[in-house]
Amino acid sequence: MNAAFAYWQQRIAPVFDTARQIHLVEAAGGRITGHSDVTLTGELPVQKVLKLVELGVGMLICGAISRPMHDLVEAYGIKVFPFVTGDLGEVVQAWLDGSLRRDVYAMPGCCGRRRRRGRQRKVRRCLGEIEPDPWGWDR
């Protein structure tokens, strides 16, 4: 199983829809068994997703992602872990050791941290409400 981390300038890319680079990580037993950087050259969203499928990606870790792109990625059987921010190396390590769900890796405005006119606005918890992963990536 491979995980793809969308990145830009060695940080998680702010928006997957426009990201051109992914860091592909192969892991087994909590250890990295291989990694590479891949350029996504397709102009159409489906071309990006088909490249992920071709690479055997089972999980996509990214920043913001549009609903249509999110649905397209998941339609091809790839689990999406959205609204993540931070240094690429730190995020990969947090994913490996199971600490990626902490608020420190949530994009600004996620996980109920946004306020509107002095009251807390209800927003979906970005990193905490991801259903258990059937491949055993959740730790």
- How far apart CA 72 and CA 45 sit, in angstroms, is 8
Structure confidence by residue, pLDDT tens digits, 37-50:
999 988 899 999 99
Q: 31 burial class (0-12, 13-18, 19+ CB within 10 angstroms)? A: exposed
Confidence (pTM): 0.79
Query: If you average pLDDT over residues 106-124, what whole number do you get?
Result: 55
Residue 79, C-beta contacts closer than 8 angstroms, at least 6 positions apart: 58, 59, 60, 133, 135, 137
pLDDT computed for residue 133 by the predictor: 42
Residue 73 in any domain: the answer is yes
In a domain, 138, yes or no: no
In-domain check, residue 117 = no
Within-domain flag for 133: no
Residue 29's domain spans which residues? Answer: 2-106
Query: How many structural domains does the chain have?
Result: 1
User: Looking at the domain assignment, is residue 91 inside a domain?
Assistant: yes
Within a domain: 25? yes
In a domain, 112, yes or no: no
Domain assignment of residue 123, yes or no: no
Give the lowest-confidence range in 34-38, 53-57, 65-69, 133-137: 133-137
β-sheet bridge partners, residue 7? 12, 21
* Three-state secondary structure string covering the chain: CEEEEEEECCEECCEHHHCCEEEEEEEECCEEEEEEEEECCCCCHHHHHHHHHHCCEEEEECCECCHHHHHHHHHCCCEEECCECCEHHHHHHHHHHCCCCCHHHECCCCCCCCEECCEECCCCCCCCCCCCCCCCCCC
CATH of the domain at 67: 3.30.420.130
pLDDT digits over 68-106, tens only?
999 999 999 999 999 999 999 999 999 998 888 777 888
